[in-house]
Amino acid sequence: MMSHLKDPTTQYYTGEYPKQKQPTPGIQAKMTPVPDCGEKTYVGSGRLKDRKALVTGGDSGIGRAAAIAYAREGADVAISYLPVDRRRRSGCEKDH
């Protein structure tokens, strides 16, 4: 039997997260706890070697996680995004 395997349901934080005190879209670095996009935890296996990927919105959140995963899998990754202040000025995002 494989006793060295750990139950993944007990490996991560299961308590309550504090309310975030910043308007949306939030700045990822200011979140508590800081989200894990796979920078240190994801290990690729080369499944996308010699492939190309274009990730939009890759500065944070799911876009950042996807860009990291594609790169770790061996893809050449191009990332594009608009900083929050430019999104508002360009009309890409409504001001509330």
Note whether residue 14 is domain-resident.
Answer: no
Domain count, the chain: 1
pLDDT digits (tens, 9 = 90+) for 14-37: 888 878 777 766 677 777 777 888
**pTM of model > 0.85:** no
Note whether residue 16 is domain-resident.
Answer: no
The answer to whether 61 touches 28, Cβ cutoff 8 Å, is: yes
Note whether residue 13 is domain-resident.
Answer: no
Nearest to 75 by CA among 55, 90, 56: 55
CB atoms closer than 10 angstroms to residue 78: 12
The whole domain housing 71 covers 32-40+48-96
Note whether residue 76 is domain-resident.
Answer: yes
